[in-house]
Amino acid sequence: MTNDDLVQLFKAQLFSDLPLSVLEGLANTGFVQSEPVDAVLFAQGEMPRFLHVIFSGRVALVGSSAARPALHATADRAPHHGTREAIVEIFKGGDVVIAPAVILNRPYLMSARVIETSRIAFLPAESIRNLINENPGFSRATTSMLAEHWRLLARQLKGQKLRSGTERLAAYLVSLVARQTDVGASVELPLDRQTMASWLGMSPEHLSRSIAQLKSLGVVVSGRRASIGDIDRLRAFCLDDDLR
């Protein structure tokens, strides 16, 4: 691992309180690698071997299951794909990809797939578990991170249960704007439509129509740019009681 990599690692929230010597020790047990789109970091059911720290790019957590056996079993008419998939979470630079499985040393509940070329550090699961046991500061940092992540998921689940598809899209746009520092109206969408649809929990077609619907609220989306006429109207529409 180069010195530059060490700096990157340091920048990740989780490691930023670690004394340099400890961080170096940790870094030496791992390695850094570039991963192309569609690379699979790990698959649902596998035992975790590494904790993945994303330096740049984006990685999606994907849940999948076999396509349904059909209630009124109509013979074996195998459809073209055979699996249903849904993106459950998306991680980006500075994030750590699912500590829970690593910490508990239990099989992954989901797969991780690179959706934007990424540089990723692979830290051996064992090193991480040891560090948690031996370094109280790191243990506390982990606690905070997990608590944050829990809240992310909880917010997701809440949205999934009580917002419609179009409302979720609106909420997503609002969250993008919030993250941007630039004042107002125009945001860059970091995801393509397919990914976005899966992440928002709807079909790509429906996403398209949802976008069309939001036009009546002054939102225009074209390619990867979204311009928002009146953010407050959007906020009202998606029932944004989002708490930090």
Partner DNA sequence: CGGTTGTTTGAGGACGTTCAAGTACTGTGG
Partner DNA sequence: CCACAGTACTTGAACGTCCTCAAACAACCG
- Which residue matches tokens 């690593």? 102
- Cβ distance to DNA smaller for residue 28 or 160: 160
Can you say whether residue 239 is alpha, beta or left, with left for phi > 0 and alpha for psi between -120 and 50 degrees? left
If contact means CB under 5 to 8 A according to the sort of partner, which of DNA, its own copies, none does residue 99 touch?
Answer: its own copies
- Which residue matches tokens 């040891």? 130
Q: Which amino acid is at 91?
A: F
Instruction: List the interface residues with its own copies, window 219-238 (CB under 8 A).
Output: 236-237
Q: If DSSP states are collapsed to H, E and C, what string results for 4-57?
A: HHHHHHHHCHHHCCCCHHHHHHHHHHCEEEEECCCCEEECCCCCCCEEEEEEEE
Name, in order, each residue with C-beta under 8 angstroms of 120's C-beta and a sequence gap of 6 or more: 32, 33, 34, 35, 41, 52, 53, 54, 55, 57, 59, 114
Q: How far is the CB of 207 from its own copies (least distance, A)?
A: 14
Instruction: List the interface residues with its own copies, window 34-73 (CB under 8 A).
Output: 44-45, 61, 63-66, 68-69, 71-72
If contact means CB under 5 to 8 A according to the sort of partner, which of DNA, its own copies, none does residue 207 touch?
Answer: DNA
Q: Applying CB under 7 A, which residues contact DNA?
A: 79, 164-166, 192-194, 201-212, 221, 223
Q: Applying CB under 8 A, which residues contact its own copies?
A: 44-45, 61, 63-66, 68-69, 71-72, 84-86, 88-89, 99-101, 103-104, 106-110, 132-133, 136, 139-140, 142-144, 146-151, 153-158, 160-164, 166-167, 201, 213, 216-217, 236-237, 239, 241, 243-244
